[in-house]
């Protein structure tokens, strides 16, 4: 059983804050199992978006972990990220959106192997 989305988001934001990085919940999704999307704003008009990894990537021996994949290999214009997030929310109204502001692009997420 995976950790509830609300608890995971809270812990993730505390992790970022402990590193001196500002983060906030932009959109609350389903408490229990809403998909979590993380936008990293680079403070220069560009951003990165991290989406939940496909189920096939998850390790059955570690079911509580959340694994993410970047939506692009390099930063893109923030407007492109916002358009993608609007589509995701239209498709999945239970989705969460977390936004982090960090010029260095640090995210502290577990990424799926590429």
Distance CA 58, CA 81 (A): 25
**pLDDT reading at 4 higher than 70:** yes
Predicted confidence at residue 114, as pLDDT, reads 72
- CA 37 to chain CA centroid, nearest Å: 3
CA distances from 47 to 41, 52, 112 (A): 5, 17, 19
Contact between 66 and 36 (Cβ < 8 Å): yes
Predicted confidence at residue 65, as pLDDT, reads 74
Region label for 108, one of left (φ > 0), alpha (ψ between -120 and 50) or beta (otherwise): left
- The structure's pTM equals 0.91
Task: Please write the tens of the pLDDT for every residue from 42-93.
Answer: 999 999 999 998 865 555 555 557 899 999 999 999 999 999 999 999 999 9
């Amino acid at each position: 059983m995976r950790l509830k989305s609300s608890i995971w988001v809270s812990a993730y934001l505390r992790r970022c804050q402990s590193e001196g990085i500002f983060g906030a919940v932009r959109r609350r999704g389903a408490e229990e199992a809403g998909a979590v999307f993380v936008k990293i704003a680079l403070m220069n008009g560009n951003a990165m978006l991290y989406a939940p990894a496909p189920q096939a990537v998850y390790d059955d021996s570690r079911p509580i972990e959340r694994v993410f994949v970047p939506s692009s290999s390099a930063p893109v214009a923030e407007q492109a990220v916002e358009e993608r997030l609007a589509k995701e929310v239209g498709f999945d109204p239970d989705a969460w959106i977390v936004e982090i502001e960090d010029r260095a692009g640090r995210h502290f997420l577990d990424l799926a192997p590429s």
